[in-house]
Amino acid sequence: MTNKYKNVIGMDIRDIKLVPYNPEWADIFTENKQYLQEILKGFDVQIHHIGSTSIPTVPFAKPIIDIIIFSPNLYEINNRIYENGLYEKDDYIKSDAPRVVDPRNINYTYNFLHLRSSNDSVDRLLRFKRYLIEHPDKAKQYAEIKAVASEYHKNSLSLYSYSKEEFIMEINKKAEELYTK
């Protein structure tokens, strides 16, 4: 039986382990985006690759593809995704970010972050990504923070995430000032 907590490199996704940036992550996202567009055909959706796997200037990341689906039809989107066998929620994942496992056996684990019709939240995440891509020095600093956090909190996603919060808020503020004028 396959371990549902293992991803393509055999890592237990409940552990906080960082690996070097892999340019194939963009291709994995594209393939999954096409599949999602197919199953969500007819719905008004935006699908984006976010998180460190989407930022080539961040030298390492948890090898989990984060995908955000934005839609004003969240209830129907949730149902369609569930009907296609993509949901597998675990207690260590925040309730607003259900863990989703691809039943097509692409052998990669990824998150969907369903944000209601809050385009502001989507924009904030995309500004953060853009800022780190355009500011490699800040991306490197972010990677260093992630490395320390992953060492100290290797078994706690919430503490790992909390350790990055101050830096993320700082970058979000700079990105908002830079990109929303």
Residue 156: predicted pLDDT: 84
Q: How is 110-126 classified by DSSP, letter by letter?
A: EEEEEE-S-HHHHHHHH
Over residues 84-108, the pLDDT tens digits come to 776 654 433 344 444 555 545 444 5
Residue 130: predicted pLDDT: 97
Residue 70: predicted pLDDT: 84
Cβ(60)–Cβ(20) under 8 Å? yes
Total residues belonging to the chain: 181
**Does 121 or 1 have the greater pLDDT score?**
121
- Torsion from C-alpha of 82, 96, 47, 141, nearest 10 degrees: -140
Predicted confidence (pLDDT) at residue 67 exceeds the cutoff of 50: yes
Structure tokens at 49: 């690759």
* Cα–Cα distance, 27 to 84 (Å, whole number): 22
In order of their start, the domains of the chain are: 19-179 (3.30.460.10)
* Cα–Cα distance, 180 to 85 (Å, whole number): 38
Over residues 129-170, the pLDDT tens digits come to 999 999 999 999 999 999 999 999 988 878 998 999 999 999
